[in-house]
Structure 1
Amino acid sequence: MSTPPTTTDAHDGADPCAGAHPPHAAHRDKDAHLKRLRRIEGQVRGIHRMVDEDVYCIDILTQVAAVTKALQAMSLNLTSEHLRHCVAEAAVEAEASGRTELIDEKVAEATAAIGRLLR
């Protein structure tokens, strides 16, 4: 069994976005993300119930579209958060250390994530 990642205190100077799996507690809007996910989860349960009850397919598709839009909105919010925090921090660190590859890595990471969202 693997050990869960530890959170990093924002004041200790460590980059909370470093590595392949940054501590997710670093999200500034964690509570809002969780609230949105609970709402989406409820919508998906509603779709499940609609299918189980043989609701008209167009009504189900309408709800699927709503869940899809909700997930897209959350993805956009997380992307914005990543750009504002992780990429910006990498730019500051790259400038201070002269290691321009730091910003290139974060931009490549963000670009790949956006590419996965657009598929």
Structure 2
Amino acid sequence: MTNTLNGHSCRARGILDRVGDKWSLLVISQLGEGVKRFTDLKREATGVSQRMLTVTLRNLERDGLVIRTVHPVVPPRVEYELTTLGHTLLATVCSLVDWAEANGDDIEKARMAYDERMATS
């Protein structure tokens, strides 16, 4: 087995493209804290447009990672939560976030060194 995506199926690449985008990772992380309403997700996801959040939630729901529940009240109340499958992805997302936090200083140093090299060449 190879360590790159080149050796993996198109299906795996498509799934990784979907769940690995910036807004999906953020929403999965937010829903790891528990059930949330759309307005809560929007408020906590600084920079996401309403349309992009809607598209992201629909895609995650379609992929079986998020459950959307509409409560029959006026005005309608819609809540989102992770499915069992979504929770398995959450564990992976948390590992990735932990890695980023643990290595953030080294990455920042590498970026600064790179930028300095590029500025002088």
State the TM bucket, normalised to the shorter chain.
under 0.3
TM-score, structure 2 normalization: 0.27
Which one has a larger percent strand, Structure 1 or Structure 2?
2
Which one has a larger percent helix, Structure 1 or Structure 2?
1
TM-score, structure 1 normalization: 0.27
